Amino acid sequence: MRKILFASSEVHPLVKTGGLADVSSSLPIALHQNGDDIRIVMPAYRQCLEGLKKIEPVATIKLEGFHLPIEILQATLPDSGVTLWLVHSPEHFDREGGPYGLPQSGDFEDNAARFALFSRAIAVLALDQAGLDWQPDILHCNDWQTGLAPALIADEPHRPATIFTIHNLAYQGLYSRDVFDALDLPERFWHSNGLEFYGLMSFMKGGLIYADHLTTVSPTYAKEICNYEYGYGLEGLLSLRAQQGRLTGILNGIDNNEWDPEVDRYIKKTYSTNNIRNKLVNKAAIQRHFALPENYDALVLGLISRLVSQKGVDITLDAVAKVLEAGVNVQLVCLGSGEASYEQDLRILRARFPDKVGVHIGYDEALSHQIEAGADVFLMPSRFEPCGLNQLYSLRYGTLPVVRNTGGLADSVVDATEENRKNGTATGFKFDLSTSEAMEEALDRALDLFQRPRLWRNMVLTAMEQDYSWEKSSKAYQQLYDRLE
């Protein structure tokens, strides 16, 4: 049985700031169900210590650069048979706030030390040096917080094959040379063909340079990051990896049990392709929730997002404001949190159109399901989108996505051109340019089609019939593991 150590800094339902957490539970669960022996390793954040039922210490390790011994705790990921290892360093992880910082004051100042420690612990587990008698064949790391682990074990003779998955190249874990010195890392890492990146230390480069293979979360994003526009200065290195056959794009899947309108515990009325009319009960419920008129004829637009530039929130605000100013029968329901200026802009839009716009600033799992179920259209005009999960959830819930044609959005949504509608493949609305005009044009197309209920219904059914479960994508990871073992 193949052994995989899967390392991530956030795992649903324990700790989540975005899609990384969803993937870090749903992919391991799929691999476990396919017969792999997979263990997840993550930091023992306070939420994990409080939220997990049975936790037991299984090992104590000593890490270079840290004076105190670190415990490895073991638990099971809720609702799965997957073993979870937690790196327990109370000084670093048992504190208030999210995994990376406090909502008001931003990132923790010691994040470099926290995730260097995490990476060092991953390395010890990957080399079977924790006394747990479990030697993985594959170490699968995710995003910069785990980036030092492949670097730390690169020269070890009996190491597992290493894979590093890029979920978002925009977050690289960049720190100064002083921080590098304070972390007590080998001097040989300070090299342009190592962790050094234009005078700074890059955690991400630990993965990009030293891992045996790189993946990212959609085929289109895998191509995009090899170009200047999306590469953040790493495009040369990534193009080289692509040429070497060491960079693969694998589209994320979704957890079909968690996101299933037929059994969803959070929504007012469950529905499926057989009783699609029940979706309307959820539409009325979401309108009520946001104190908007319960009007079936209004096209309800949904937005659930981290409120950051990546997600094109400004583009949405402009485009939707124009549509609302034109007096068109649309409503907007938003759930999100992030940059204060975007939060404020959303509130302003609500104040301007109180009977058309509903806004909930914050993070709310149940409400995110209710919006997916109740809206007619889902908005995702991202400037870049490595994969994106919400458009996949939207398809499953028959909530047609309006997306920018980039990354995973390009790979998962089929535009409602006349041809695609006729051959029964259309599932949403795409536009190319990052402008509010381009988005408005896509919204107009959605509005037109919404006036033709039979055509709209056909698209909703096509969307709901798409299969973006992990079935296919987890096999792609397994083939990759086979190749590398």
**Can you give the binding site for ligand GLC, defined by CB under 6 A?**
18-20, 23, 167-168, 217, 252, 385-389, 408
Nearest approach, Cβ of residue 58 and ligand ADP (Å) = 31
Q: Is 52:78 a contact under the CB 8 Å cutoff?
A: yes
Q: Which one of ligand GLC, ligand ADP, none interacts with residue 331, CB within 5 to 8 A by kind?
A: none
Nearest approach, Cβ of residue 25 and ligand GLC (Å) = 12
Q: Taking CB under 6 A as the rule, which mask of x and - marks residues 156-195 in contact with ligand ADP?
A: ----------------------------------------
Q: Is 260 in the site for ligand ADP (CB under 6 A)?
A: no
Q: Is 18 in the site for ligand ADP (CB under 6 A)?
A: yes
Omega prior to 186 cis, within 30 of 0: no
Kindly tell me which of 98 and 190 has the beta carbon lying closer to ligand ADP. 98
Nearest approach, Cβ of residue 289 and ligand GLC (Å) = 26
Kindly tell me which of 52 and 389 has the beta carbon lying closer to ligand ADP. 389
Choosing from 348, 363, 444, 461, the residue that interacts with ligand ADP (CB under 6 A) is 363
Nearest approach, Cβ of residue 482 and ligand GLC (Å) = 22
Q: Which one of ligand ADP, ligand GLC, none interacts with residue 364, CB within 5 to 8 A by kind?
A: ligand ADP
Kindly tell me which of 112 and 403 has the beta carbon lying closer to ligand ADP. 403
Tokens of 443: 């919204």
Q: Is 398 in the site for ligand ADP (CB under 6 A)?
A: no
Give the number of residues in contact with ligand ADP, rule: CB under 6 A.
18
* Near ligand ADP in 312-351, by CB under 6 A: 335-337
Q: Is 331:302 a contact under the CB 8 Å cutoff?
A: no
Kindly tell me which of 264 and 385 has the beta carbon lying closer to ligand GLC. 385
Kindly tell me which of 173 and 194 has the beta carbon lying closer to ligand GLC. 173
Q: Is 119:149 a contact under the CB 8 Å cutoff?
A: yes
Q: Which one of ligand ADP, ligand GLC, none interacts with residue 217, CB within 5 to 8 A by kind?
A: ligand GLC
Question: Residues interacting with ligand ADP, by CB under 6 A?
Answer: 18-20, 22, 304-306, 335-337, 363-365, 368, 387-390
